[in-house]
Chain A
């Protein structure tokens, strides 16, 4: 606006003209409004600060609550899935050590120690269903059954002079099942075995299982034929006869 006395440019908030010193009355209403708005703004700010200070503890508490909820959720998820995390980390490690583990596996196979191989595979978390170990898939399956057969025959045959055998009937039943299952798996997977890169080892495994039956259960080739063609009750009766009464 302009000073009506000297015509100089003055601001709406000037009380006097800075050039001629005249008291400016024309902007008094504007200045009064400005004053009111300033006070009102200060009041509003104060109110906001008061409300904020009242709500800050609730806001902080709500933030902590959300953080704790997320943290508890994460912990729960970790606990639920820890097995899978461990498995997957261990499998990644076994993939990294492929060369070393493959050499160790070959040693077990060359020695015909398929039970040892099965234990190695289990305790080194080798995922035989995934590359790079997937070519071991059939061999591993058969080795697991062979390992069970070896354990079952060991458990019913090796006793010291003062041994206490608490559950002979159930152990003999388990032994019969383990023998039956290994042979069933072998016969059932024969076409797969014949195409497997490790088929020679699997056939050797079968030969060793037969030898175990011959050495420890008195079943030579003819005996095994007769044994496998008989019913499960007769198989159990045979094992009881050999193991309990001989």
Chain B
């Protein structure tokens, strides 16, 4: 094998390796970028789908990350808040029945706060309230 052939082969290998490097670099760098407080990964269209189906329990369960302090983008915040509203209504009934008056009151305060913050969703909030009322078996 002549030196020229060796050089040509090594240049080809270098080009391939350089291409692999350039293609892999953004992925590797992207994989290292993160927030210390995780951003929730549920897609808002999933929440929207369950809201449209009026499966408010699923919306409540999917939105729970917001109550754990997960970061949510501004555009999705309303959907998460509707879920938070549903979950707090659900839990308020449990706290009231279990005799945790303070926790029930804290839920109630946050529920009123959300209602004030989201006047445009009044009818949805009413339906969520109705869903909890109907869910209670007593």
Contacts and interface: CB of A to CB of B under 8 A. Distances in A.
Contacts of A72: 17, 20-21, 24
A113 B94 CA distance: 11
Interface in B84-138: 86-87, 90-91, 93-95, 97-98, 100, 102-103, 106, 127-128, 130-132, 134-138
Contact of A58 (B6, B18, B24, B28): B6
A154 interface: yes
B131 A119 contact: no
Contacts of A79: 24, 27-28, 31
Interface string A112-123: 110111111111
A138 interface: no
B24 A212 contact: no
Contacts of A71: 17, 21
A129 to B, nearest CB: 18
A90 B34 contact: yes
A55 interface: yes
A147 to B, nearest CB: 7
A208 B7 CA distance: 74
Interface in A49-92: 54-55, 57-58, 61-62, 64-65, 68-69, 71-72, 75-76, 78-79, 82-83, 85-86, 89-90
A212 to B, nearest CB: 5
Contacts of B21: 68, 71-72, 75
Interface of B: 3, 6-7, 10-11, 13-14, 17-18, 20-21, 24-25, 27-28, 31-32, 34, 36-38, 40, 53-58, 60-61, 64-65, 67-70, 86-87, 90-91, 93-95, 97-98, 100, 102-103, 106, 127-128, 130-132, 134-138
Given A57-B7, A61-B14, A119-B65, 7 more contacts: A75-B21, A75-B24, A117-B68, A119-B70, A154-B60, A166-B53, A211-B97
Interface of A: 54-55, 57-58, 61-62, 64-65, 68-69, 71-72, 75-76, 78-79, 82-83, 85-86, 89-90, 93-94, 104, 111-113, 115-125, 147, 150-166, 207-208, 211-212, 214-218, 242, 246
